[in-house]
Each structure stands twice: as C-alpha cells, then as structure tokens.
A and B are shown apart, each in its own frame.
Chain A
Amino acid sequence: MAGPESHAAMLKAEFPSLVQIEGGGGGFSRFLVQKESLPAVAQYLHHHQKWQSRLALLWAVDDRPMREGASLHYLFALDNVRQWVVLSIELEGDDRLFPSITPHIHAAQWYEREIRDMFGLIPVGHPDLRRLVRHEHWPKGTHPLQKGFPWNEVLGRQQGNYRFLHIEGEGVFEVPVGPIHAGIIEPGHFRFSVAGEPIMQLELRHFWKHRGVEKLFEQRTLTDAVPLAERISGDTTVGHSLAYCQAVETLIGLEVPRRGRFLRSLFLELERLHNHVGDVGAICNDTAYSLPHAHCGRLKEQVMQLNDRLTGSRFLRGVNRVGGVTVDLTPNQLTEIPKELDRLEQDFSELESIIAANSSLIDRLETTGVLTTRTARDHAVVGVVGRASGLDYDLRRDRPFAAYGELAVKVAMYHYGDVRARMRVRMDEIHESIRLVKQLCATMPTGPIAAEPRLNSRLPKTPKAGEWALSAVEGWRGEILYMVMAGENETIHRCKVRDPSFVNWPAIQWAVVGNIIPDFPLINKSFNLSYAGNDL
C-alpha cells in the first residue's frame, strides 16, 4: 500500500522543481508549483493509474494585503490511497493569466470559469470562456472576490446577452425552462435541444440565486460565521455548519470533546434521514405514483418533528458551534430516539416492499437517466449520485470526522447509475443512518459537549493572517468542502465553500441525453441537487 511519502516522493522524482511546503491544516501534503509546469504536474497526478485521483476542489485567493498578487490551489483526492494533495501556484503582481487544466481534466471546467468571474483571472486555454456566475447584465470588470471590491455596493446593470449552445438541423428545436419553473422549487434555467422526443443536449444556466455568500463570510469573524454557513443550503444545515466549524477548529487548534463529536454525528444522520426519506417519496411522485409520496411525506414530517423536539429547530439550526454543539440530549431522549426510529424503520420497510412490488414504477426508473461510471469519474461526481454510479467513496469511512472514526459505516453502492440505483442508495442509507443513530445513542459518552473557544475572549490560538485549513463532511448529498483562511485579528480572509451540487450539476447534462423531456423531472429529482448551495 502506498503511504503518504510515496506519492510525494514519486511527484518529486518526476518533477524535481516542485517545492514541498508546510502550512495549511486538515491533513494533506502541499506543493508549490511553477505556473508554467502546473498542467503537466496536474495531469500526472490526475491520470496516474495508481491513485484514482480526482480534482476535489479548485480555489483562488486574492492574497492582498499579505502579498501582491493572487494564488490558486488545486486539491486532488487520491482515492486509492486516501490521501489529499494540494498544488499551489502564485501569480505575481498584476499577472492575471493562469494555465487552464480543463482540456485534460474535465472536472476543472466550472471552477475555472467561476474563478474568472469572481477574481478576473483568466484561464488560458479554457475551451469555454462564457460567463458562469456573472449573468449578462453584470457590468464589465466586476469581480466581487477581488479585495478592492466593496461588499455592500449593489451592482449596476448593463445590456448583454448569453450565448446558449445550439444544435442546428432539420426538426431540432429548443425548449427553454425556467428560471421560475413548475412546483415549489428553486430557480434555474434548463435549455433542452430536442429532435422529436429524445433530448439531444441539455444546457444548464444557474447562479440565479447568487447572494455573494463567500464575500459575506469575509465580513465576519471566525467564530460568528456559523449562522451564515447554516443558510447556504437550508436542507444541509448541519452538513454545512459542521464543515465550517471543523475548518475553524483546525485553524485555531481546538479539540472537540468526545460527546460533542458523537452528537454532531447523530445530528448529521438525522438530517440525512429526513432528506433521504423525502427524496424517495418525491422520486415516486415524479412518476405520478403518489401513494409512497404521501407516506414518505408523513415519515419525513415525523423526523422533522423529532428534530424540533430535540433541538428546537426542525432543520437542526443552531446546533453546531465552533468547539462542539450547543444542544445536549438527556438520557431520557437517548432512549426515546432509538424507539421512535425503530417504529419508523418498520414503517419504512413496509413501504419499501410496496414500492418494490410495483413493476410499472420500477420499469419507469430502470435505465432512466443513466450516468455511467466513466462520465461520473470525469466530472468528479460525489455523494449519492457517485455511489449510484459505482464510485465507491464516502468520507464517513474514508476520512472519518466527528465520531465516524469509532463507527463502522457500511457504504451503499450500486453500479447502474440510473434513477433506480440512486433511489436504492438512498433506501440503503436510510437503514444505515437509523442503525448509526441507534448505535450513537447506545454508546454516547459522558462529558462536556463543547470545548470553550473563548478563554478571556481569546481563541486558544489566534491564527496568523494567511493561515488556512480544509475540512470535509459527508453531508446527505455528498462531500461538502470548506477552505477557511484567517485574516488579521480573527477575521476571515477567504472562505471557499463547495457544496456537492456544484460538481454534480454539470453531470446531469450527460445523464439526460437520449431520455425524453417528461423524464427530466424524474432524473432531476433523483439527483436532487441544491440550487442555493451551487449558486452561493
């Protein structure tokens, strides 16, 4: 088995000019790369058979005032050896060009376009340089994450238009959908090109809900930004706040007590539970089979009312804080939860057998919206969608956080990549979550629930400006990544948020090809991605 030294050694042997650097918390090795040699190093790291590596995150930082210039950081997850590698390049002064890796590593496509929009840095060689986050009416030259850009000055408007990709030919027509589209759903625009019934091409146009979250983080201090993280994507309240808290805890060197970690895992599993139960019902509903939807709606409500009774919030808002959790559970509650979940599991199992016995439903789900393993890997897809397409990757097992180091998590895996596989991953995870919650309740340690982050209103360790940490959490949708960089006096210099939706959205464009438009809502529901978490 290859250890952490070996990939570092292999990289250095292949590229002698690499400089390994210390710094950055969160368990990874980091290399400073010359700008010119970046594509070669990234390709070597990404394509090497030994590692099964994927581009997990790509982010830029405007380093002013610490250093004149910007820097870019590429996080590769080496899934075979369960290691992380960060490659960093630094741009000097007014240099705004960086080499694009998209021609060789497809997963970088949205990241590089996002960086161009938010920082005004240009990925040289990127095949598609249209605007992504900045819609056509944003004035020229507005790049909100540049340090000189005022956070609170509302943008003006200009005239402009967006070029969609067109397929031309006899009988080909386009169907525009959104931003405001059917049902109670978030806004997004979908442009279908169809010839007859089957979809030939789908182009997404998102970022309608861009609220400037990453810039808002920079106006807050390290310890008071948790409520903002909770509101990035409301359905993933615990996932996002936990990822944020972990990054800050690494940065300031704070150890969360064992009971705090157990409670965090418990709340994260409850969140997974109510979302997955709701999704199973919603998938059935999109085939017009409304009976499971009604039952699942009832079961989901049951879990959310349980959340409410335990913490005072149906979405588990305010349970995480830097250093631990704010809500403790009484011994009485710890015996009540497993009983309630036992009843729920019994109820859900009966429903599962009703769903499985409906052949017309299964016929509709099978072979619909297939995302092949190859496409999933090229897009570095994560979470439920990835596990349904044969990507065996779950942070709870691979990079344990909170209490998962002490739990054996069984990862649900399917290979077909169709709607049914995604539904079955959810069903399996519902049972696994119930099992984990019961185990957590049974083995809940005693002790404090949070470490005190403020002794005489000082952090245990005040991070130097420019220090940063990474953190990863397996939310119910998949891998949530946070990069938090400290500024002067406990402020936040930069906070990069990556919801799993950001990497999974582009993949949906490939999963729908060849399907008919009436199946699109079903496929979309089986992915169930967040618009808010994607748009930020």
Chain B
Amino acid sequence: MFRIIKKSLKTGVVTGRYPQSAAPHESIDPAAAEKAKPFRRSLVIREVDTGSCNACEMEMNALMNPVYDAERFGIRIAASPRHADALVVTGPVTINMERALKDVYKQTPDPKLVIALGDCAINCGMFKGSYAVTGPVDRHVPVDVRIPGCPPRPADILKVLTELCGKHDRH
C-alpha cells in the first residue's frame, strides 16, 4: 500500500503533458454544432471500426489515458451503441462491415452525431478503389464531423471533441 501511495506521489499529475494540437483550426459546421447542443458537458462515444489499420483505435485509447484524460471534459466511451450519443467511425467501410455499420447507426438513439475519424473514414485513404471497400463513411451514414489525419493525434481529436462539448482544451 505504501509503495502504491509513494509511486502516486512521486508521479504527480501528468494530465495535460502533451504538445498542443497544431492542426489548423477548422470551426465545426454550424449544423453539427447545433446537433451537439444536447451533449454539452457530457458526450458518450461508441467507437466503430469499419476497416481501419488500428492506429486510429490506438489514438482513441490514448485519449482515455491519464495524459489526455478526456473524461475531465465529460467525454466517455460506451460499450454499446445504445448507450451512445455519438459514433466515432474509423477506417474505410469494407464490404464485410457495411451492414454492421448501418445496424449500429440504427441502434444508436436519436439525437446522435457521427464523427468520421481519420483519412480512411473521410475518403478511404490508401484503400480507395479496392474491390473490398464500399466507400467512405458518409456514403453509408450521414457524417456530421470530420477529423482528418493518418492517424490524427490525440490532441487534435480532443480539440474537436471538446469543441463539440462546448469547452476548450486548455491545460
């Protein structure tokens, strides 16, 4: 027990120890901002991977670590789409995942936001044109917010998400 307390004291607070997002500031589409209004102070996300290389998943996971600690802005991850306010979709939509994505979209209660995370979700990236890729996310479900990058840095993701929550990532 003493060892654990000592370790915690020695470590101190690490939240906010990351370089500020250098991504160009793009203000969120007013329609999306309007849609996000009910989720101010609390945004519950269900992450859906429709064929990404898993780098975007790693960065989403990083958001939950003590350094970025997205929970301090009221951003949480749900295990089921039925508990979610927003879907974060990564990767080009593969033929095998197309139906699953549409199902998840239907299962998510309204009002809901869809956030396309990463270049693949926005325009299929490297996998554009493949026989097994049916198109970017917005071909299958309406997309409200786009976060470009391959993969986007956690700070970039956090910047957009906090803006949706009506807060600013200041540390």
Chain B hits for A186, CB < 8 A: 49, 52, 54, 57
Interface residue count for A (Cβ, 8 Å)?
A: 59
Q: Is there contact, CB below 8 Å, between B97 and A154?
A: no
- Contacting residue for B52 out of A183, A317, A532, CB 8 A: A532
Instruction: Please tell me if A215 contacts chain B, counting CB pairs below 8 Å.
Output: yes
Q: Tell me the bound Cα distance from A117 to B66 in angstroms.
A: 44
Instruction: Please tell me if A304 contacts chain B, counting CB pairs below 8 Å.
Output: yes
Over the window 11-40 of chain B, the binary record of Cβ atoms lying under 8 Å from chain A Cβ atoms (1 yes, 0 no) is 100100011000000000000000000000
Chain A hits for B129, CB < 8 A: 151-152
Interface centre among A182, A185, A295, A301, by most chain B C-beta atoms within 10 angstroms, is A301
Q: Is there contact, CB below 8 Å, between A298 and B11?
A: yes
Q: Tell me the bound Cα distance from A184 to B76 in angstroms.
A: 11
Q: Tell me the bound Cα distance from A70 to B52 in angstroms.
A: 31
In the complex with contacts A182-B79, A354-B7, A531-B54, A298-B133 CB distance below 8 A: no
Q: Is there contact, CB below 8 Å, between B51 and A353?
A: no
Q: Is there contact, CB below 8 Å, between B18 and A208?
A: no
Q: Tell me the bound Cα distance from A187 to B81 in angstroms.
A: 14
Chain A hits for B91, CB < 8 A: 209
Q: Is there contact, CB below 8 Å, between B47 and A152?
A: no
In the complex with contacts A209-B96, A300-B65, A532-B54, A185-B130 CB distance below 8 A: no
Q: Tell me the bound Cα distance from A370 to B162 in angstroms.
A: 43
Over the window 110-128 of chain B, the binary record of Cβ atoms lying under 8 Å from chain A Cβ atoms (1 yes, 0 no) is 0000000000000001110
Q: Tell me the bound Cα distance from A151 to B128 in angstroms.
A: 11
Instruction: Please tell me if B136 contacts chain A, counting CB pairs below 8 Å.
Output: no
Q: Tell me the bound Cα distance from A305 to B65 in angstroms.
A: 13
Q: Is there contact, CB below 8 Å, between A208 and B61?
A: no
Instruction: Please tell me if B42 contacts chain A, counting CB pairs below 8 Å.
Output: no
Q: Tell me the bound Cα distance from A55 to B103 in angstroms.
A: 40
Instruction: Please tell me if B145 contacts chain A, counting CB pairs below 8 Å.
Output: no
Shortest C-beta distance, A229 to chain B (Å), equals 10
Chain A residue with the shortest CB-CB distance to B95: A155
Q: Is there contact, CB below 8 Å, between A208 and B55?
A: no
Q: Is there contact, CB below 8 Å, between A211 and B133?
A: yes
Interface centre among A137, A213, A216, by most chain B C-beta atoms within 10 angstroms, is A216
In the complex with contacts A183-B79, A301-B18, A210-B11 CB distance below 8 A: no
Q: Tell me the bound Cα distance from A153 to B129 in angstroms.
A: 7
Interface centre among B3, B14, B53, by most chain A C-beta atoms within 10 angstroms, is B53
Q: Is there contact, CB below 8 Å, between A180 and B131?
A: no
Chain A hits for B7, CB < 8 A: 295, 350-351, 354
- Contacting residue for A216 out of B19, B47, B81, B130, CB 8 A: B130
Instruction: Please tell me if A237 contacts chain B, counting CB pairs below 8 Å.
Output: yes
- Contacting residue for B51 out of A149, A209, A216, A530, CB 8 A: A209
In the complex with contacts A186-B57, A228-B126, A301-B67, A354-B4 CB distance below 8 A: yes
Chain B residue with the shortest CB-CB distance to A300: B65
Chain A hits for B97, CB < 8 A: 179, 187, 208-209
Could you list 21 examples of A-B contacts with CB < 8 Å?
A179-B100, A184-B77, A186-B52, A208-B100, A209-B51, A209-B94, A210-B96, A212-B131, A213-B127, A231-B53, A231-B55, A231-B150, A233-B54, A235-B55, A237-B55, A300-B62, A301-B62, A305-B18, A308-B19, A354-B3, A354-B7
Given contacts A180-B100, A184-B64, A298-B11, 11 further A-B contacts (CB under 8 A): A154-B134, A180-B104, A209-B51, A233-B54, A234-B52, A234-B54, A278-B61, A297-B66, A301-B67, A305-B18, A314-B59
Q: Which 10 A-B pairs have the closest CB atoms?
A: A234-B55, A297-B65, A234-B53, A212-B130, A212-B132, A182-B79, A152-B129, A231-B53, A301-B67, A184-B47
